[in-house]
Amino acid sequence: MSLSPVRRLAASRGVRFGAQMIFVLLFGLVIVAGLVGTSIAAKSFATVGTWMIWWIGVIFLILCFGKVWCYVCPWNALAEWTKHGALWGVRLDAPGEAAWPRRWRNLGPAIAFFLLFVWLELGVGLTMDPLFTAVAAVLLLTLTVVSALVYRRAPFCRYACPVGRISGLYALFAPVELRARDRRVCRRCRSKDCLTGNQRGYGCPTGQYPGTMDRNTYCILCLECVKTCPRDNLALNLRPFGADLVKAFRARGDEAYLALVLLSLVIFHAVTMVPPWFQLVDLLEFVTGWGYTGAFSLLMAVMLAVPLLAHRLATGIGWRLARERGVPRRRLFVTYAYAMIPLALFFHLAHNTMHLAMEFAKVVPVLSDPLGMGWNLFGTAGWIPPASLLPLSTVHGLQELLLGLGIAASAGVLAVCSRRLYPPAQAVRAAAPMLVVLGGYLAFGWWLFSLPMAMRMLL
């Protein structure tokens, strides 16, 4: 098998091990900083590295490279190394032969973890607490390792990891894909080494079969199939943005609910950082006497429900306007939910653009003193970061641009989804209420991004 340099790199176990090891070491630094370092969030690598760098930057990575985070994910790396008892070699006699419970073979666990995570993050102050951040990271690691040891393949990545599943939906929009070069070769292939594994690599950890895989959602870009395929039938392709969203696919209810929850929580995230939010929480605390966590939880539930109800209402009206009973109402609800993915992605990017401008540079002094113990490893501990890397007017302009792109992309996907279900005139009528909802998101987003945004960790 003759290999091009790029393919040789992709097929090398050592390259992935090296990339994973870098992130495992950084992950270790997060744990150590959280457990034994300072409790001041703005001075700890646990909180700055996790929330200001990784959590903010990973969304930009997904936009450009799809699920590349999963290639280096330290949770997955440590789970794989433990399961296989090998760092970069291949040992096919791994433990964990139980089947993942049938009732959990959907994205319900990922949605539950995502809701819990946002509640802990914003309602309980996870991002402000280095120790809490480290404990949460260790708990997530424990779940990943235990599920890998007990069950076949990597069920936590496939069904439960909120980062993996959110990036899985966003990656439908990404300009990178891994696909079989020729599906006819897969159909003729008897060994299916990509599923079973061989001496060169493991079977696909999320159970994907390249012969039929036509979307990015569940491929974690581990490149094991590139290594195992004896016919060199895998390729990493560049493609137009949004390619997976505009072709025919089987819409799934669990993916649709995750897409809507994602949009709700991305907007909720931005709402919790502007002045009217603080006034609203104060008012609710005063009126109910529930304290901050109670008031926050109630408002989070309301903010979660509004986009879901708007989607339900708009698809219900659209279904009646289309007057085509051959298409069930639920199908419209589920299919149109995919059109919200670009909006969620670009809203997320717009929100994170402000975080990047105002917080990214704060890692520089923390790198010299990651535990907040008075070290000065690289001579940057005393450096005072600028208030913002870009003028605020530029950041607001970028946010409006990203929001506009998200709305345009969502409207485009909506049009394609609608045309797939109906003839032209009915497609317009069915999609019209959703276009009104998109207009509402545009107006709300513009108003939201015009407000001053409070950063959580002020230096």
Nearest in space to 339 (alpha carbons), one of 249, 423, 447, 401: 249
| Interacting span for ligand SF4 (CB under 6 A) from 140-148, 223-231, 283-291, 319-327 | 223-231
Using CA of residue 64, residue 169, residue 302, residue 296, what is the dihedral sign? negative
Q: What share of the chain is helix, strand, coil (3-state, %, to 5)?
A: 65, 5, 30
Phi-psi region of 223 (alpha: psi -120 to 50; beta: other; left: phi over 0): left
Stretch that binds ligand SF4, among 204-212, 267-275, 305-313, 450-458 (CB under 6 A): 204-212
- How far is 157 from 280, CA to CA, in rounded Å? 37
As measured in angstroms, the least distance from the Cβ of 194 to ligand SF4 is 3
Closest approach of Cβ 7 to ligand SF4, in Å? 13
Pairing mode, if any, of strands 201-202 and 197-198? Answer: antiparallel
Phi, psi of 381 (to 5 degrees): -60, -30
- Determine the interface stretch with ligand SF4 among 76-84, 96-104, 213-221, 380-388 (rule: CB under 6 A): 213-221
Which one of residues 127, 144, 167, 233 is an interface residue with ligand SF4 (CB under 6 A)? 233
Contact of 330 with 336, CB cutoff 8 Å:
no
Write the binding mask 381 to 410 for ligand SF4: x where contact by CB under 6 A, - elsewhere.
Answer: ------------------------------
Q: Is 221 in the site for ligand SF4 (CB under 6 A)?
A: yes
| Helix residue ranges per DSSP H, 151-274 | 155, 162-170, 183-188, 193-196, 224-228, 253-271
Q: Which of 145, 204, 261, 273 binds ligand SF4 (CB under 6 A)?
A: 204
Contacts of 390 (CB under 8 A, 6+ apart): 357, 398
Interaction pattern, residues 174-193, with ligand SF4; x per rule: CB under 6 A: ----x-x----xx--x--xx
If binding means CB under 6 A, how many residues of this protein chain bind ligand SF4? 26
**Considering the rule CB under 6 A, would residue 210 count as an interface residue with ligand SF4?**
yes
Residue 151's DSSP bridge partners are 98
Nearer to ligand SF4, 191 or 279 (CB): 191
73 touches ligand SF4 by CB under 6 A:
no
> Residues in the site for ligand SF4, rule: CB under 6 A?
178, 180, 185-186, 189, 192-194, 204-206, 208, 210-211, 213, 219-225, 229, 231, 233-234
